[in-house]
Amino acid sequence: MPWNEVTNMSLKLEFVRFAKLEAEPFSTLCKRFKISRKTGYKILRRYEEEGEEGLNDQSRRPLTHPSRTSIAAEEKILELRAKKPTWGSRKIRAYLLNNGTANLPATSTITDILRRHGFITKEETSPKSHERFEHDKPNDLWQVDFKGHFAMQKGRCHPLTILDDHSRFSIGLRACANEQAITVKKHFEDVFEEFGLPYRMNFDNGAPWATVVSQRFRFTQLTLWLIRLGVEVSFSRIRRPQTNGKLERFHRTLKDELLRYKYFWDVRDAQKNFDIWRLEYNHLRPHEAIDLKAPITRYRNSSRKYISTLPEIEYRSCDDIRKVDEAGKISYRNKKIFIGEVFKYLPVAVREDFDNKHSIYFCHQKLLSIRLEDY
């Protein structure tokens, strides 16, 4: 009804008086007051039933709200958000559904509830789009790195993190007192015993897995050992941490959900808390990138069993085998080619490729692709 709010009452009274006079057809009267016949009859009925009080504007709000979120459900939503301040509406809804809470509202309604109670701002709910990539199967690729070290009551903690690319399953979250190769190797052995061997592991460009000289990667004793085990080793591009993007995101979650709120006594205390948080992360926490499932639902142990005894180094019968000298070089067709000191006294294979290129392998790992004329 298009009447101005201020003059509604007086216009309705005037309409009633003209209608009572019956001096003109009812449809013409309604047209003159710019209302429908249905609205006109409604005004007359209310006047007859309630007098002038019936002409006051009435609220259109329904008397009942069958779709309104129950108080109990809203309390569970708010309680979970208070415990998990970094969780959004989709994650909260998935977690509560997975744990038996029925009659939950839509994600958008949960967002409204969180915003109404001051848990989130409008900016936090603005849509974000980005392309995701993941490997096809568990254990195709593990991303590995250290989370930035931090102070404890006794010493510093260097969290070693290992994440399965396909499932986002946390293979390892180890509290280390340092970042030395001997420490890392022991944790790798424990992880391999429990989960088996991955096909590939990706690292950044720092110790203990790599060193970089003149923009070229140099393998270390640790990565040499991994290659001997049958694990392919790869490295992120220099100054491109997004290559291990899923692990970077894992580090942020670890910081937001645990490290920000906890202060540890020593490495043992840190490991105890890491184990509790990792269990929840893997088995309970819904993950946005995998359709709000927990990582455990997409992970299975590797069929490649870990054997501590290193296998023999074998190559194809058609390969040219060269032994790396003490300086880390091989001689091939009167050329001296640097491979790396870490491979000294070990055999490598030279394979001729197309377009006058040669590839140099150590076990299954391709180390270099070269043109002989460049040497």
pLDDT digits (tens, 9 = 90+) for 277-303: 999 999 998 888 888 899 999 999 999
Q: Which two tokens stand for residue 145?
A: 């790195």
Q: Which two tokens stand for residue 316?
A: 């194809």
Domain residue limits, the chain: 5-55, 71-125, 142-298, 320-374
246 CB neighbour count, 10 Å cutoff: 19
What is the distance in angstroms between the CA of the first residue and the CA of the last residue of the chain? 89
- Helix and strand numbers (H, E) in the chain are 10, 14
CB-based contact 158:173 (threshold 8 Å) = no
Q: ∠ CA(27), CA(30), CA(36), 5° rounding?
A: 95
Q: What is the mean pLDDT of residues 320-325?
A: 95
Mean pLDDT score across all residues of the chain: 84
Reported confidence tier of residue 130, pLDDT bands at 50, 70, 90: very low
DSSP bridge pairs for 362: 365
Most confident of 160-169, 204-213, 365-374: 160-169
Q: What is the mean pLDDT of residues 67-87?
A: 75
Q: What is the mean pLDDT of residues 166-174?
A: 96
Q: What is the mean pLDDT of residues 129-158?
A: 86
Residue 182 one-letter amino acid: I
What is the DSSP-derived secondary structure letter of residue 136? S
Q: What is the mean pLDDT of residues 328-355?
A: 91
Q: What is the mean pLDDT of residues 172-194?
A: 96
Which percentage of the chain shows pLDDT scores above 70?
A: 87
Q: How many alpha carbons lie under 13 Å from residue 67 in its C-beta half-sphere?
A: 4
pLDDT, one tens digit per residue, over 229-240 is 999 999 887 655
For residues 187 and 16, give the distance between their C-alpha atoms in angstroms, rounded to a whole number: 88
The answer to whether the peptide bond before residue 208 is cis (omega within 30 degrees of 0) is yes
Reported confidence tier of residue 217, pLDDT bands at 50, 70, 90: low
For residues 74 and 269, give the distance between their C-alpha atoms in angstroms, rounded to a whole number: 35
Q: What is the mean pLDDT of residues 157-184?
A: 96
Query: In 3-state terms, what secondary structure has residue 268?
Result: helix
Q: What is the mean pLDDT of residues 105-134?
A: 66
For residues 281 and 296, give the distance between their C-alpha atoms in angstroms, rounded to a whole number: 9
Query: In 3-state terms, what secondary structure has residue 249?
Result: helix
Kindly give the residue spans of alpha helices, DSSP state H, lying in the chain. Answer: 8-21, 26-32, 37-50, 71-83, 89-98, 107-116, 181-195, 221-229, 245-254, 267-283
For residues 312 and 363, give the distance between their C-alpha atoms in angstroms, rounded to a whole number: 9
Element (H, E) at 332: strand 329-332
Instruction: For 79-89, give one letter per residue: b (16+ CB within 10 A) or e.
Output: ebbeebeebbb
CATH topology of domain 142-298: Nucleotidyltransferase; domain 5 (3.30.420)
* Whether pLDDT at 255 is above 60: yes
| Maximum C-alpha span of the chain | 119
